[in-house]
A and B are shown apart, each in its own frame.
Chain A
Amino acid sequence: MSKRIAIVEDDDAIRENYADVLRHQGYQVQSFANRQSAEAAFTVRLPNLVILDIGLHDEYDAGFELCQWLRAKSSTLPIIFLTARDNDVDTVSGLRIGADDYLTKDISLPHLTARIAALFRRQDAQNKPVEQENLIERGPLVIDSQKMTIKWHNQYVELTVTEFWMVFALAKSPGHVKNRQQLMQDSQIFVDDSTITSHIKRIRKKFSKIEANFNCIETVYGMGYRWNDADIVSLVGQSNAGA
Chain B
Amino acid sequence: MNLYSTRSKNQGFIRIGLRTKLLILSSFLFTIPWFGYQYVWEMEKYLRYGQEQTIVGTARALATTLHDRPNLFDNQASFLASVEKGKDLYGFQIRQPIQLDGRYNDWPDFEGKAHFYEDSNIIWQEPNQTVSLRFNAAVGKYDKYLYLFFNVVDDKLVFRGNNARSIYLNDHLTLSLTAPDGEHQQYIVSNKNAGWIESFQLDNQTNRPQPINYIQGVWQPNNTGYNVELRLPLDYVGNKIGFSFADVDTPSSKATSLVGSANTSDPEQLGTILVPSPEIERIVKGMSYTQSSIWVIDKHQRVLASAGDINSASGVWRSTASTNANSGIWPTWWHWLQTNLLHPLYYKVLTKPTQDFYDQLYDESHLAGEHIEQALSGEVHSQWRLSTDKQAVILSAAYPIYIDEQVQGAVIVEETTNGIKTLRNKALEQLFTSILAILLVGTISFFFFASRISNRIRQLRNHAEVAIDEHGRVKEDLPALKGNDEIGDLSRSFSTAVSRLTQYNQYLENLSSRLSHELRTPIAVVRTSIENLSMYPIPENAKAYIERAESGVHRLNHIITSMTEATRVEQLLQRTEKQSFNAYEVIASCISGFKQIHPETTFNFQAPNQKANVLGSPEHFAQMLEKIVTNAVEFSCDAQVEIMLITVKKNLILTVKNNGELLPETMENRLFNSMVSLREEALVNSESSLQSSQPSSKSQPSPNSQPHLGLGLFIARLICEYHQGQISAQNCFDPNGVQINIEIPLTE
Interface residues, chain A, CB within 8 Å of chain B?
11, 13-14, 17-18, 20-21, 24, 84-89, 104-106, 108-110, 190-195, 197-198, 219-223
Of A88, A105, A191, A222, which one neighbours B524 at CB under 8 angstroms? A105
Given known pairs A198-B572, A221-B590, A221-B593, the reply for A14 and B525 (CB within 8 Å) is: yes
Which among A21, A191, A221 is the interface contact of B622 at CB below 8 angstroms? A221
- Report whether B527 and A221 are in contact in the complex, using a CB–CB cutoff of 8 Å: no
Residues facing A in B642-698 (CB within 8 A) are none
Q: Nearest Cβ distance between residue B706 and chain A, in whole angstroms?
A: 13
Report yes or no: B529 in contact with A87, Cβ–Cβ below 8 A. Answer: no
List of B residues within 8 angstroms of A84 by Cβ: 517, 520-521, 524
CA distance A87 to B566 in the complex (A): 11
B525 touches A222 (CB 8 A): no
Contacts of A194 in B (CB 8 A): 565, 568-569, 572, 623
**Residue in A closest to B564 when the chains form the complex, CB atoms:** A86
Interface centre among B517, B532, B568 (most CB of A within 10 A): B568
Given known contacts A192-B568, A194-B569, A18 and B517 CB-to-CB distance under 8 angstroms: no
Interface: B164 (CB within 8 A)? no
Query: Distance (Å) between the CB of A176 and the closest chain B CB?
Result: 13
CA of A221 to CA of B622, assembled, Å: 6
5 further A-B contacts with Cβ under 8 Å, apart from A87-B571, A192-B565, A219-B622, are A87-B513, A105-B520, A106-B524, A222-B593, A222-B622
The CA-CA distance from A14 to B532 in the complex, in Å, is: 11
- Docked CA distance A85–B626 (Å): 26
Q: Complex: how many Å from CA A24 to CA B592?
A: 48
Q: How far is the CB of B586 from chain A (nearest CB, A)?
A: 5
**Whose C-beta in chain B lies nearest to the C-beta of A20?**
B532
- B528 sits at the interface (CB 8 A): yes
Q: Is B700 among interface residues, defined by CB-CB distance under 8 A? A: no
A-contact 0/1 string along B511-538, CB 8 Å cutoff: 0010001001101110111011001000
Give residues of chain B (619-634) contacting chain A, Cβ–Cβ below 8 Å.
619-623, 625-626
**Is A221 touching B517 in the complex (CB atoms < 8 A)?**
no
Q: Return A198 CB to nearest CB of chain B, in Å.
A: 6
Residue of A nearest to B533 (CB): A17
With CB as the reference atom, state the residue of chain B lying closest to A87.
Answer: B571
B536 CB to nearest chain A CB (Å): 10
For B592, the chain A residues whose CB sits under 8 A away are 222-223
Cα distance A192–B619 when bound, in Å?
Answer: 14
Q: Is the CB of A191 within 8 A of B525?
A: no
Cβ-defined contact, A222 with B590, below 8 A: yes
- Are A222 and B557 in contact, with the CB atoms below 8 A? no
Q: How far is the CA of A194 from the CA of B594 in the complex (A)?
A: 18
Q: Which residues of B contact A193 (CB under 8 A)?
A: 565, 623
B531 and A21 form a contact (CB under 8 A)? yes
CA distance A88 to B589 in the complex (A): 27
Candidates B517, B528, B568; contact of A88 at CB < 8 Å: B568
Q: How far is the CA of A199 from the CA of B263 in the complex (A)?
A: 152
A143-B84 Cα distance, complex, nearest whole Å: 157
**How does the 8 Å CB contact mask read for B235-259 relative to A, with 1 for contact and 0 for none?**
0000000000000000000000000
Q: Mark B449-477, 1 if CB is under 8 A from A, else 0.
A: 00000000000000000000000000000
Report the separation of the CA atoms of residues A17 and B522 in the bound assembly, to the nearest whole angstrom. Answer: 12
Which residue of the partner chain A has the closest CB to B563? A192
A residues less than 8 Å from B571 (CB atoms): 87-89
B533 CB to closest chain A CB (Å) equals 10
Query: Can you pick out 14 interface pairs between chain A and chain B where the beta carbons lie within 8 Å of each other?
Result: A14-B524, A14-B528, A18-B528, A21-B531, A86-B520, A105-B520, A109-B528, A109-B531, A193-B565, A194-B623, A219-B622, A221-B621, A221-B622, A222-B593
Q: Is B16 in contact with chain A by the CB < 8 A criterion?
A: no
Q: Which 3 A-B pairs have the closest CB atoms?
A: A222-B593, A222-B590, A17-B528
Q: Provide the bound-state CA to CA distance between A11 and B520, in Å.
A: 12
Given the interface pairs A14-B528, A106-B561, A220-B589, the reply to whether A88 lies near B572 with Cβ below 8 Å is: yes
Q: Given A88-B572, A192-B562, A219-B618, are A109 and B532 neighbors across the interface (CB < 8 Å)?
A: yes
**Across-interface contacts of B569 in A (CB, < 8 A):** 194
Interchain CA distance A115-B608 in the complex, whole Å: 50
CB of A221 within 8 A of CB of B618, answer yes
A125 to B575, CA, bound (A): 37
Within the complex, what minimum Cβ distance (angstroms) separates A227 from chain B? 17
Chain A residues contacting B560 (CB-CB under 8 Å) are 106
- Number of B residues, CB within 8 Å of A: 42
Question: How far apart are the CA atoms of A106 and B524 in the complex, in Å?
Answer: 6
Choose among B521, B565, B621 the residue that contacts A14 (Cβ–Cβ < 8 A). Answer: B521
Residues of chain A within 8 A (CB-CB) of B590 are 221-222
Q: What is the CA–CA distance of A105 and B519 in the complex, to the nearest angstrom?
A: 11
Say yes or no: is B567 at the interface (Cβ < 8 Å to chain A).
yes
Pick from A87, A88, A104, A220: contact of B593, CB below 8 A: A220
Q: Are A108 and B531 in contact (CB under 8 A)?
A: yes
Residues of B contacting A20 with CB < 8 Å? 532
- In the complex formed, the residue of B with least CB distance to A104 is B520
Chain B minimum-CB-distance residue to A105: B524
User: Given A17-B532, A193-B623, A222-B592, are A87 and B568 also a contact pair (CB < 8 Å)?
Assistant: yes
Contact with A along B543-566 (1 / 0, CB 8 A): 000000000000001001110110
> A24-B535, A84-B520, A105-B520 in contact; A195/B568 too (CB < 8 A)?
yes
In the complex, what distance in Å separates the CA atom of A20 from the CA atom of B571?
36
Q: Which of A21, A84, A85, A198 has the most CB of B within 10 A?
A: A84
Q: How far is the CB of B392 from chain A (nearest CB, A)?
A: 99
Q: Are B593 and A13 in contact (CB under 8 A)?
A: no
Establish whether residues A221 and B589, one from each chain, have CB atoms under 8 Å apart when the complex forms: yes
**Interface assignment of B597: CB less than 8 Å from any CB of chain A:** yes
A106 contacts B572, CB within 8 Å? no
Which B residues between 474 and 532 are near A, CB-CB below 8 angstroms?
A: 513, 517, 520-521, 523-525, 527-529, 531-532
Known: A14-B524, A87-B571. A106 touches B626 (CB 8 A): no
> A106 vs B555: C-alpha distance in the bound complex, in angstroms?
12
B398 within 8 A of A: no
Residue B96 at the A interface, CB < 8 A?
no
- Residue-wise, chain B 703-714 has the 8 Å CB interface mask toward A (1 for contact) of 000000000000
A190 to B559, CA, bound (A): 12
B-chain residues with CB within 8 Å of residue A21 when the two chains form the complex: 528, 531-532, 535
* Whole-angstrom distance between the Cβ of B602 and the nearest chain A Cβ: 16
Report how far A20 CA is from B531 CA in the complex, Å: 11
* Contact present for B625 and A222 (CB under 8 Å): yes
**A110 CB contacts on chain B under 8 angstroms:** 531
Whether the Cβ atoms of A190 and B589 lie closer than 8 Å is: no
Contacts of B575 in A (CB 8 A): 88
Decide if B305 is an interface residue (CB 8 Å cutoff): no
Q: A222: shortest Cβ distance to chain B, in Å?
A: 3
Is B326 among interface residues, defined by CB-CB distance under 8 A?
no
Residues on the A chain within 8 Å of B594, using CB: 222
Shortest C-beta distance, B573 to chain A (Å), equals 9
Q: CA of A190 to CA of B558 in the docked complex: distance in angstroms?
A: 9
B596 within 8 A of partner (CB): yes
List B contacts of A191 (CB < 8 A): 561
B612 at interface, CB cutoff 8 A: no
Closest Cβ of chain A to B697, distance in Å, is: 30
Which residues of B sit under 8 angstroms from A198, Cβ to Cβ? 572
For residue B593, which residues in chain A have a CB less than 8 angstroms away from its CB?
A: 220-223
Whether A105 contacts B521 in the complex (CB less than 8 A), given A110-B531, A192-B562, A222-B590, comes out as yes
* Contact call A223/B524, Cβ cutoff below 8 A: no
Judge whether B596 and A190 touch: CB under 8 Å: no
| Cβ-based interface call for B591 (8 A) | yes
Which chain A residue shows the least CB distance to B623? A193
Q: A141 to nearest B CB, angstroms? A: 23
Interchain CB contact under 8 A, A223 and B596: yes
Q: Which of B570-587 contact A (CB under 8 A)?
A: 571-572, 575, 586
Q: Which of A14, A109, A190, A222 has the most CB of B within 10 A?
A: A222
Report Cα–Cα, A109/B594, bound state, in Å.
34
Taking a contact as CB atoms under 8 Å apart, the answer to whether A106 and B567 are in contact is: no
